[in-house]
Amino acid sequence: MASPLSPIPPPPLLSFSSTALGLTRRSLLLSSTLSTTPLLSSSSLSPPLDTTVTDRVFLDFSLCPTYFRSTTAVDSTPLCSDPTPLGRLVLGLYGNLLPLTVSTFKLMCTSSSYKNTLVHKIFPGQFFQAGRQGRSREYGEVHLPTALDLPRNTETVDSKAFLLKHSRAGVVSLCLSENDDDDEVKLDSDYRNVEFLITTGPAPCPQLDNNNIVFGTVLEGLDVVTAIASIPTYKPSERIQQLNDLAEFFGDERAQKGRTLWNRPLKTVYISDCGELQVTKPSLSPPSLP
């Protein structure tokens, strides 16, 4: 019988055969490889999106030193008596990928429904918005004639329509999350969303991804985009922003109405002309397109 002070004998050494040791090393190597190798997602296995430019339209932009007109504007009446042309944007549209969105936008251009309407919001370093609908065209808002008969755009509820990203300057997108059409217009049973935005760069706008539909790109006129982006806008003071946040917290409807004035350009920027440019042969998009 061992005394209490006797040392405890060490456990017997485990013996491994070369085969077992080899299996262990291979197992460790395999598990390490699996843990560091990302699994392929379904999106990475899906075919590339068809961003073939099937249609081309143009938008001419002009600048006026004042914002509002005192008289009601109609299609043939310019918003400014002495405008300064900013230049022309030529937009390439992805008709194969988003046929409904593209056909609606093209019809808005060919019918001159965007003509004499405002660029109503500019977010410096991000994007500008145009095509807002209102109750009248007095302030350069879009008014859709009943004869236009635009189809319902079911692509707005199709997840596949949101796959392209706002990754650079010159991306043309249908406003959904950023839409600020007049509430009374939205309540109309025949309401069609035709508001759009164009990214100005230089950085991407990931906050727009998955919430707005990219359906085209600027082919010519990025200098015009830069010129529009440089126009000064209304920026509320910090105190006004704090009061607005407080009003919104207490459910005051005037808070939302007050925000509609934020980021409005201090000069009248408007679409002075628009239309379609004929495409004889659809072209593949450049490699830099999103």
pLDDT number for residue 180: 82
Output 163 or 279, whichever has higher pLDDT.
163
Please state, in angstroms and rounded to a whole number, the distance separating the CA atoms of residues 210 and 73. Answer: 36
Among 138, 84, 137, smallest CA distance to 269 is for: 84
Please state, in angstroms and rounded to a whole number, the distance separating the CA atoms of residues 204 and 127. Answer: 10
DSSP state of 60: E
Please state, in angstroms and rounded to a whole number, the distance separating the CA atoms of residues 224 and 214. Answer: 20
Report pTM: 0.76
94, 54 contact by CB (below 8 A): yes
pLDDT number for residue 33: 42
Query: What value does the mean pLDDT take over residues 38-67?
Result: 77
| pLDDT more than 90, % of the chain | 49
76, 112 contact by CB (below 8 A): no
pLDDT tens figures, 135-189 = 665 678 898 888 888 989 999 999 999 999 999 999 999 999 888 887 788 888 8
Output 116 or 80, whichever has higher pLDDT.
116
Instruction: Report the mean per-residue pLDDT for the chain.
Output: 80
pLDDT number for residue 15: 47
pLDDT tens figures, 1-30 = 555 555 555 555 444 444 444 445 544 444
pLDDT number for residue 97: 96
